[in-house]
Structure 1
Amino acid sequence: MAAGVSLPTPTSPGAIDWSAPWLAPWRGRGQPVAQQVQGGSPVGQALQSAVRGAAPVVFAAQSELPDGVAYEQYIWDTRRVPTRDNLHDFFNGLVWLHFPQAKRRLNELQAQAIAADGVQAVRGPLRDALTVFDENGALLQAPDALWDALRARDWQRLFIDLRPLWPQARLVLFGHALLEKLVAPRKPMVAHVYPAPVAINSGVIGAGDGLGELDAWLAQAVQPHTWAAKPFVPLPVLGVPGWWPANEAPGFYADAQVFRAAPRPGPRP
């Protein structure tokens, strides 16, 4: 194999199965970027080649990040994203390309919190929530009945009784760590899901792209007073109908280690 070409291991873009349904929104721009990386280009350089028009950030080498400077603060101050040659930063860059306004908003709030409180050993509630969504978040556009079942963690109703409703829903993964983990899919993988209105990009639900309106909406939806409370719902993503062949068997959802019951409310004071 030629020098600089990535081997198809779980840590390189060559390992990505672009036919996976959760990668539909990322395939058009992500696959050419992956091919450039496999051809020997640094990840940051390959991502930069996919930028269209004015972009909120530039993808830079990881070596540009000065010692002792917080990553999020550096991005906010310089509009440059330090990028390593690995899958984690590859997917982070793809999310920046598709959700530039939302990523900029998350970065803004992270930088504000760092400026106010510094980098603590334990993140505060808002920074923790922003990080959870940035790493493992997803947006779900779905009929109310599906949302009611998901919030109740009524997996039988959500995935079996209401299965005919899923063609009316769209789950868009946002977290770059989750996208990285799904290169080698495992049943327990969970997204932290936030509700998005069905009307946004309603003409392309299920089509896998058309994320511009969703990006603009999410950038406005991220507000400190609500997000600090982590308004997310856990969803085992391989349970989504059409996303994993094994979930066609009803017994797939009987695994209580993955499809867990809702926590019982604590005792009243």
Structure 2
Amino acid sequence: MPACEAQPSGFAAIDWSKPWFAPFAGRGRRWQQAALTGYEALLAEMNADAREMRQSTGRGERLAFIAQDDLPPGAAYEAHIASTGCVPTRHNLHDFFNASMWFAFPRIKAALNARQSAAIDTLGVGPTRGGVRDTLTLFDENALLFASADPALSAALRGFDWQTLLVARRDAWGASCEVRCFGHALLEKLMTPFKACTGHAWIVEVPDGYFEWNATRRDAWLDESVAEALLNTDTLSSRMFAPLPVLGVPGWWPENEAPAFYDDASVFRAGRRAR
């Protein structure tokens, strides 16, 4: 089996009922069946959707998905996407979830690609990415979007105040705050969830009426708002994220119904700020 090929059981194991996968289930189930058929079938399904959506990459090139082996030798991944619109894609879960985000949050993906390719144009491809590219990569791989209409909840997340955010204000989830998984490496890790699995939350302050909107409108607003922030924030750093253990999100894991779940200080840490 070529290196780019995944074991079919990997794709078969995706449980679309899980809250971190559920928002992407509509397209995801169809792609899953294509992936189980084979590599070419998956690329064909992705490209059919790309043609229908007329999605563009960071420099306005029309989005398409190509086999990893079609990436020219020596070409930088992000620069190639920006200049051609073609996303090198392997037949594995990591790239499956990456491609999914081009449809779930297309503006955010295009903004990340635009900033990455601009940094490559300026600095070239060296032994290290540099601070800005590291932050963009962290976002792309491991970000959660934490949407909050209550500044107190955002402050609790930034301050590692887990008791306020996840226990005392538990009823606020779905009414004043919510989370969307974005990072494709994070989604891959959540194939086999574990208590310490932690995402990097990008906090988005949302308007008062946000939680009265349907999921499609909320996602579109997040997509536009976060993309604009990524494009227009001059200094990007990892300090802009707040760690959030994913299985601690209320309603996302049965064991967190018990308040004692959050007493595990090895997972729900006090953090540097508190210390």
Same fold (TM over 0.5): yes
Matching of residue 162 in structure 1 with residue 163 in structure 2: no
| Percent identity for Structure 1 against Structure 2 | 44
**After the TM superposition, which parts of structure 1 deviate over 6 Å for at least 4 consecutive aligned residues?**
none
Q: What CA distance in whole angstroms lies between the structure 1 residues aligned with 2:101 and 2:129?
A: 23
1:40-189 matches, cutoff 5 A: 40-42=38-40, 43-51=42-50, 52-56=52-56, 57-142=63-148, 143-168=150-175, 169-189=177-197
Change (3 A) 1:7 1:65: closer
- Where 2:128 maps in the other structure, the secondary structure is coil
The count of corresponding residues between Structure 1 and Structure 2 is: 259
CA contact (8 A) 2:11 2:32 kept: yes
Cα offset, 1:210, TM superposition = 5.0
Cα offset, 1:41, TM superposition = 4.5
Letter paired with 1:198 = V
Where structure 2 has 5 or more consecutive residues not aligned to the other structure, the ranges are 57-62
CA contact (8 A) 1:5 1:40 kept: no
- Where 1:263 maps in the other structure, the secondary structure is helix
**Aligned match of 2:245:** 236
CA contact (8 A) 1:25 1:209 kept: no
Q: What CA distance in whole angstroms lies between the structure 2 residues aligned with 1:225 and 1:47?
A: 33
Q: TM-score, normalised by structure 2?
A: 0.87
Q: What CA distance in whole angstroms lies between the structure 2 residues aligned with 1:154 and 1:189?
A: 18
**Aligned match of 2:225:** 217
Where structure 1 has 5 or more consecutive residues not aligned to the other structure, the ranges are none
Q: What CA distance in whole angstroms lies between the structure 2 residues aligned with 1:210 and 1:35?
A: 28
- Where 1:150 maps in the other structure, the secondary structure is helix
Structure 1, residues 89-147: CA drift from partner, whole Å, max 9, x if none? 00000001111111111111111111111112122110010000000011111222221
Structure 1, residues 137-185: CA drift from partner, whole Å, max 9, x if none? 1111122222121111011121111111112122011101001110111
Structure 1, residues 75-98: CA drift from partner, whole Å, max 9, x if none? 111110000000000000000111
Q: What CA distance in whole angstroms lies between the structure 1 residues aligned with 2:34 and 2:238?
A: 40
**Aligned match of 2:59:** none
Higher fraction of helix? 2
Q: What CA distance in whole angstroms lies between the structure 2 residues aligned with 1:99 and 1:40?
A: 26
Q: TM-score, normalised by structure 1?
A: 0.89
